[in-house]
Structure 1
């Protein structure tokens, strides 16, 4: 089987599909730093602006992790008609010209809710009007062996196959809550309205600013040495948190640009799971489902097979993959640096002034870190 990757980024989709036995025929990526990574890591044709691409090869799979800029809660929220997220129409133009057996789309869960779910409505209607079956499911990367909480919607569509056998064949249910972790992730850039708190995981890695200013999350390592217990993962750790090998984006770009590439990427193990489902679709799980009427709010998982829309009672945890390392061990092996004095001071002052729930010992650790960094 062969694939074409549109909005390919640094190749998260393609690396995962290759692990499932699907070869890469062509990649399309507009941003030069990411395009350079693709040219270095993949032995295939890499093209630029999707708007200038006249056609794609006839392949089995087309992937498109189209821009979330206009759909994300922290983005412009312009919706599917925004100048960047609206580029999914270019993907549809190319798909219609050379229809593959499978199409795989990826974006943020907010696409199901923003402006009444108009983005999801547009996508579902496009496929149905042309006789495609589709299924989508919201999944979280932390359940695929990664130490990062990353919720994303993956939609699989096909004219001739049942995409439900790709996304709806695995179900592990909601995980049991475990107390007492050795490390906790949080957003040091927040502190007024939220923390992005993660038990044993980092919050979602972000793309950062258009200026290439790095904004990785921070990690509190419980019982760690003062001055090291409040830290930021290195870019090599960030690559591992997305399932790439350390150094995947190391081609001379500054860290801010590399963090943007990593933060925008598709988690590799999730792509590999989808690839395995495409290569070998399996029976559907026996879970409750009900008809999903047009106009109703989009749920976290749904499908349309033979023109019948259904809502599925599926969790964001298809299976329970055990991470190879703890979050602290990832930082030990691949690197971290102390959170800067100014960043820690700003975050702590916002947190203490807020009404957000937090562990008292966390605030104590932050203050100890400030004192240490002030005298270091």
Structure 2
């Protein structure tokens, strides 16, 4: 298979294709930092910097992948919709497909595009695909099914003119696992939230993201009950974040610094596709299976379901869970490099506590007690480890 990757980011969709013996013939991303990472890991692949300037796809392309920008679709972004300045760039995918026959198209984006603007993003995507003669299917999946402790829901859309995408997305169904597979020794949450939500996750972190409610790229926090004072609220290091997305640690190290001299690595990782999700998908592209997920025709689609298939104006709802399969789960504390995890800073923890006290959300009492103790400890200047202030400021 020959693969062309558009909006490639750091290669989360394309990397597993290489592992399956496919040949990547094109990667494209407009961000300098992304291209630095791609150049380091795909040194022999043609690299383009602007999808708008691509006249055509290379000859012999079998698969086009596109994790197109979620900036205008995600809750952490502007939510301007599919016609927004950045998410609207997906129109260039369709432009390129009009001029080149390909076997498969793989799109990936945030869960919010199913509901934003009454589902207009999905309506636009499927109408464009059907106008090009594609059959399409999509499924909402949770990255935890791949074994990584990150509760990350993303929409995978697969389309083809000649093949049945149902045999790719709906040939597996494990079902949501019970809570017994998760330990209760660590809980992830967003320290940038606190008024209306937390992204609370047991034995996992909430979705890594390139932005936050404060408008800055930021790691989630992890509550570790029973840890030493000052170590009960910590944030993962960037290498842990890479592992939470299924990449090798240090994958984004080639990223360029921004104009302020700050690293773009957190934003790159937050915008990436979880590698294990793409690995499962590619396995089914190579070996399609029998459809095992129950489904029914939708006479009046209304709101877009979590999984569906369509062709020629007709839509079927699939009763698919977000866990098509289940890989061996790696527990959060087994993945985190705890010595490299930074204590949540005094400023961050105090601001979070202030929002928590003003909110109407319900919290575990032990969590609130540890949060208040952490704020006091970080403000006290007490240095049990001798490096607390330096680590917190890093």
Q: What is the match of residue 29 of structure 1? A: 29
After superposition, where does 1:1-376 map in structure 2 within 5 Å?
A: 1-42=1-42, 43-57=44-58, 58-178=60-180, 181-208=184-211, 213-251=216-254, 253=256, 256-285=263-292, 287-293=293-299, 295-305=301-311, 308-323=314-329, 325-332=330-337, 335-375=340-380, 376=382
Displacement of 1:13: 0.3
1:137–1:84 CA distance, 2 compared to 1 (3 A): same
1:334–1:294 CA distance, 2 compared to 1 (3 A): farther
What count of residue pairs does the alignment treat as equivalent? 374
Unaligned runs of 5+ in 2: 383-394
On the 8 A contact 2:141/2:153 being kept in 1, the answer is yes
- State the distance in 2 between where 1:212 and 1:353 align: 20
Displacement of 1:272: 0.8
1:180–1:276 CA distance, 2 compared to 1 (3 A): closer
Displacement of 1:305: 4.6
Displacement of 1:208: 2.2
On the 8 A contact 1:138/1:153 being kept in 2, the answer is yes
- State the distance in 2 between where 1:252 and 1:119 align: 31
- State the distance in 2 between where 1:98 and 1:117 align: 28
**Quick check: 93-102 or 262-271, which moved more?**
93-102
2:91 counterpart SS class? helix
Unaligned runs of 5+ in 1: none
Deviations along 1:170-191, whole A, 9 cap, x unmatched?
1011211237511100000011
User: Over aligned residue pairs, what C-alpha RMSD do you find?
Assistant: 1.9
On the 8 A contact 1:212/1:256 being kept in 2, the answer is no
Displacement of 1:213: 4.1
Displacement of 1:288: 2.5
- State the distance in 1 between where 2:169 and 2:186 align: 31
Deviations along 1:64-99, whole A, 9 cap, x unmatched?
111111111232221111111110001111122112
1:8 counterpart SS class? coil
**Quick check: 10-19 or 231-240, which moved more?**
10-19
Give the TM-score normalised by the residue count of structure 1.
0.95
Q: After TM superposition, which residue ranges in structure 1, 4 or more long, deviate above 3 angstroms?
A: 211-214, 252-256, 305-308
Displacement of 1:294: 5.3
On the 8 A contact 1:16/1:270 being kept in 2, the answer is no
